[in-house]
Amino acid sequence: MGNGTQRPVAVVTGAAGGIGAAVVRALAERGTAVAAVDRDAEALGVAADKLAADGLTVLPLEADVAAAEEAEAVAAAAEERLGPLEYLVNAAGVLRLGASWKLTAEEWETTFGANASGVFNMARAVVPRMLPRKRGAIVTVASNAAGTARMAMGAYSASKAAAVMYTKCLGLELAEHGIRCNVVAPGSTDTPMLRSMWGPGAGPEATLDGDPGRYRVGIPMRRLGVPEDTASSVVFLLSEESAHITMQTLTVDGGATLGA
């Protein structure tokens, strides 16, 4: 990965756990210097210590990407301490469950702040630093729920749909500058976010089987995703192996959306 003359530098948000942490490790193991960003300072520190113990180059940066000034500070610190920014991975996300008309304004705003505004804020901070070099790649980790209606997930689905279309519009505008923008859309992945949705009678088997009463099919491949599944797809879309791919969505859900 990278331009072959120096170690590439990536900024990864939502880096303290789940898919974000898997992306950080996958990139670092391939020789990328990673600025790992999360608002949970304690969890981020634990994750960064584990990576450092394995000899990987990771710079932990505490920030809430829903705040524009914090996103700008992250980009500035990453570039100053690691070098020119080549990759951005938007993996930060939150989930607020509830009937769409019963969600509070705070739940809606918090969801959009992390899932949509965070992507916008990071792009505004990182893209101007990529433009002079006429190279770079951005991947937004969205969800298969961005294109498939889900009960009790109105804010989450809508915010991820916004992030998807923003990323594709960004990709159109940046194509002539040599910067590619793509989306990875995971389905049910074994992370703390997924486990927070499980309750009595709802667990791994129920996720695999689906729920006709909630208009949700199961997973044809009969296994939950793991964070590394999504991380591998992110790495591919950042790499030169996907040099002619931009404005695309790669769905990683074991067939749960039936190829739609």
Residue of 87, 156, 166, 215 with catalytic role: 156
H-assigned helices in the chain: 18-29, 41-53, 68-82, 105-112, 118-130, 154-174, 192-195, 204-209, 227-238
87 counts as catalytic: no
Which of residues 43 and 209 earns the better pLDDT score? 43
- Per-residue pLDDT, averaged over 7-18, amounts to 96
| Residue in this structure with the two tokens 């976010």, named with its chain if needed | 193
**Could you give the 3-state DSSP secondary structure of residue 129?**
helix
Res 189 pLDDT > 90: no
Question: CA distances (Å), 148 to each of 153, 217, 218, in order?
Answer: 10, 11, 13
- pLDDT at 194 exceeding the cut of 70: no
Q: pLDDT-derived band of residue 217, with 50, 70 and 90 as boundaries?
A: confident
CATH number assigned to the domain covering 9-191+228-252: 3.40.50.720
pLDDT confidence tier of residue 225, bands split at 50, 70 and 90: confident
Q: Does 28 score more than 90 pLDDT?
A: yes
Res 21 pLDDT > 70:
yes
